[in-house]
């Protein structure tokens, strides 16, 4: 039986899930967790087939949980529930192997998304290798203030600083600002975590929109791939 871990701090919502998803009990089993911390504890003890998580939660939030899943290379697809999602964001993240469900939704919509995600040839990919762009887009969507730490496959460290979801600065190797952001957006196989923020503020050094930077990084990668093909 497929085990589906659902993470949400709203106890009423959890009760609604317990009752509403009962009719799907022959298709999947649900495990509920109140926050990212509890979810990590479940993931340490059990193998789950799918993770469904809210983003805004106390203690360890959904973004930190996704970072953990990514770091531990847990091969479970992921559905993200957010009250701040828009159709445009849903479409953008779906290109990055993440399914986003906009709250509120009918429970049958969630059930169908779970069933789709559990199919062997699911329309979305697994969370393994979640891109830096996807993380940044989720932080932007949730208007969060945080430091996103990036470690490349070559163990080179960098960071993004976001304030209320806006990208303020980036640092990587000897560069900062747009240059550092573009370099990190182009990394493959990087690991992602959240740094100690401690309420520090940084001056704004990036004025390009996040979407603009992501598109520039994609263009640079395409050009690089084309050049390699021509060699």
Smaller CB distance to other proteins: residue 106 or 119?
106
Instruction: Tell which residue, 60, 44, 62, 61, has the closest CA to residue 52.
Output: 62
Residue 23 or 201 with smaller CB distance to other proteins: 23
What is the nearest approach in angstroms of other proteins to the Cβ of residue 18? Answer: 9
Nearer to other proteins by C-beta: 68 or 99?
A: 99
Nearest approach in angstroms of CB 85 to other proteins is 12
Q: What is the 3-state secondary structure (H, E, C) of the chain?
A: CEEEEEECCCHHHHHHHHHHHHHHCCCEEEEEECCHHHHHHHHHHCCCCEEEEECCCCCCCHHHHHHHHHHCCCCCCEEEEECCCCHHHHHHHHCCCCEEEECCCCHHHHHHHHHHHHCCCCCCCCCCCCCHHHHHHHHHHCCCCEEEEEECCCCCEEEEEEECCEEEEEEECCEEHHHHHHHHHCCCCCEEEECCCCCCCCCCCCCCCHHHHHHHHHHHHHHHHHHHHHC
**Binding of other proteins by 119 (CB under 8 A):** no
59 binds other proteins (CB under 8 A): no
**Nearest CB to other proteins, comparing residues 106 and 200:** 106
> In the complex, what is the shortest distance from the CB of residue 24 to other proteins, in angstroms, rounded to a whole number?
12
Cα–Cα dist 147/143, whole Å: 13
Let me know: does 107 contact 140? Beta carbons within 8 Å.
no
107 binds other proteins (CB under 8 A): yes
CB of 134 to other proteins, least distance (A): 22
Number of residues that bind other proteins (CB under 8 A): 15
**Which residue in 26, 47, 88, 106 binds other proteins (CB under 8 A)?**
106
Cβ of residue 109: shortest distance to other proteins, in angstroms?
A: 9
The least distance separating other proteins from the CB of residue 194, rounded to whole angstroms, comes to: 22
104 binds other proteins (CB under 8 A): yes
Please pick, from the candidates 71, 83, 173, 218, the single residue that binds other proteins as defined by CB under 8 A: 83
Binding residues for other proteins (CB under 8 A) = 10, 12-13, 15-16, 19-20, 23, 56, 83, 103-107
């Amino acid at each position: 039986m497929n085990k589906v871990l659902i993470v949400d701090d709203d106890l009423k919502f959890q009760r609604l899930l317990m009752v509403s998803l009962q009719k799907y009990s022959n298709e999947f089993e649900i495990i509920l967790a109140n926050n990212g911390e509890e979810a990590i504890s479940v993931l340490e003890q059990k193998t789950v087939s799918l993770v469904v998580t809210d983003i805004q939660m106390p203690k360890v939030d959904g973004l930190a949980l996704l970072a953990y899943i990514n770091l531990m290379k847990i091969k479970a697809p992921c559905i993200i529930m957010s009250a701040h999602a828009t159709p445009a964001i849903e479409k953008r993240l779906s290109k990055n192997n993440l399914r986003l469900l906009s709250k509120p939704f009918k429970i049958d919509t969630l059930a169908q998304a779970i069933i789709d995600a559990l199919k062997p040839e699911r329309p979305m990919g697994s969370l393994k290798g979640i891109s830096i762009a996807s993380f940044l887009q989720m932080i932007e969507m949730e208007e969060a203030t945080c430091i996103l730490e990036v470690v490349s496959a070559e163990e080179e460290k960098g960071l993004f600083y976001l304030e209320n979801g806006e990208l303020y600065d980036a640092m990587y190797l000897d560069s900062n600002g747009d240059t550092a952001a573009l370099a990190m957006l182009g990394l493959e196989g990087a690991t992602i975590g959240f740094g100690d923020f401690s309420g520090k503020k940084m001056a704004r050094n990036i004025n390009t929109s996040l979407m603009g930077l992501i598109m520039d990084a994609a263009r640079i990668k395409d050009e690089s791939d084309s050049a390699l093909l021509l060699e």
